[in-house]
Amino acid sequence: MDKVYIHDKVFVPFIPYEKISQIIDGVADKLNGDFCTPDHSYSRRCEEDIPVLLCILHGSVMFTGELMQRLEFPVELASMKLSSYVGTSSTGVVKEVMPLSTDIQGRTVIVCEDIVDTGNTIVELKKKLLAKGAKDVRICTMLLKPEVFQGRDKLDYVGAEIPNRFIVGFGLDYDELGRNLKDIYVLE
């Protein structure tokens, strides 16, 4: 892992892919523990019991894709896009850029986020999903910044905690670049 240059910033190695993979394994183990049938039978679950795995675009695409491969229970994939960042700073305003791609009425929704910092986006998203008729909303994040997390809503599945620093890679971006990096880098 070497330094990477994105726009006007320099990023240095922070979390290698091998560690990211272990983080995802841990999240998948917790989800499988909560959602697998006792006999791990994929085909025996009733259709109405199949949870919706909600990928929050674009940041959690890589996390959601790898997580899905490790799940031992059926899920329906859905997506939506929210926005609250400009450059390296949160605006504090959550905008729904692309609406939810499926009906969630009466369904359990597992929200897949790449990272949670203050938690404001999650609070707004959970309200929106419950208003759309979700029977339950579980929050799943690859990374959490606990020093800025305001803790208003419980996070059900947290892969790893990191310091409050700006990162890119593995789906995370700086002004739309850097998402394709296999490893995660931190602002130098």
Tell me which residues are annotated as active site: 117
In sequence order, the β-bridge partners of residue 11 are 4, 187
Give the C-alpha separation, 20 to 25, whole Å: 9
- Rounded to 5 degrees, φ, ψ at 69 are -65, -20
CB within 8 A of 7, min separation 6: which ones? 174, 175, 177
CB within 8 A of 110, min separation 6: which ones? 31, 51, 52, 53, 54, 75, 138, 140
CB of 149 within 8 A of CB of 92?
no
